[in-house]
Amino acid sequence: MKRLLDLSGIGQGRMALKWVSAAEGQLFANIVSELTETTKSLGPFDAGQYAMQLAAIENVIRAPRMRWLTGVDLHVTEHENVYGDKVDPAEYHRMTELAMQDEYQKALILESLKEGPLSVREMAAKTGIPVYSVSLRLNDLERRGQAELKGFEGTTAKFVRLAA
C-alpha cells in the first residue's frame, strides 16, 4: 500500500500500519500522536484532486495478479517449490514492484478513459505516464479486452475503455 501511495503521488506518509498489543496503551498513544503530527505537517489532503489515482489504487488492490503475488510471498520465498528451488526474496520483491507499477499504470489508463475516447498522448498527459509506457500498457489492455481502438480523429488514434 505504501508503494502504491508513492506511485500515485499521494505519498506513504499519510498511512501507517503498526502492531500494538491491547496492553500497550502508551505505545498506541505515541504512534497515534506521531501519525497525527506527520499528517499535520503534510497539510490537508484533497481527495478530489487525487480521485483518479485513488480509484487506480483501489483497482490495483483488487487485481488478481497483485492479490496472488501478495498471497504467495512467504510461501515462495521461504519454502521450496516442486522443483526444490526457493525464490530469492530480493528478486521476488523486485518482480512484485514491477508488477505493481504495471498494474497501477494500467488502472490509471482505464480511469482516464472513463471520460471518453483519448489518444495515447492525451492519456499520457492525464496520467503522467510516459507516452511509450502508455502504449505498452494499452496493448496489454487491448489484449485483455479492457480497451479498444474507437477510431481516428484525423490521423490520431482514439481509444475507449470497454465495460468490465
Cell numbers linked to 13: 506518509
Residue 81 predicted with pLDDT over 80: no
Give residue 164's pLDDT.
66
pLDDT value at position 54?
95
Mean pLDDT of the chain: 92
Q: Could you tell me which residue, 73 or 113, shows the higher pLDDT?
A: 113
- Report percent pLDDT > 70 for the chain: 99
Q: Which domain does 64 fall in, by range?
A: 46-161
CA gap 43, 51 in Å, rounded: 18
Q: How far, in Å, CA of 155 to CA of 152, rounded? A: 6
Pair 62, 34 in one domain: no
Domains contained in the chain, number: 2
Indicate if the pLDDT at residue 11 is higher than 70. yes
Q: Do 118 and 139 lie in a common domain?
A: yes
Supply the pLDDT for residue 128: 95
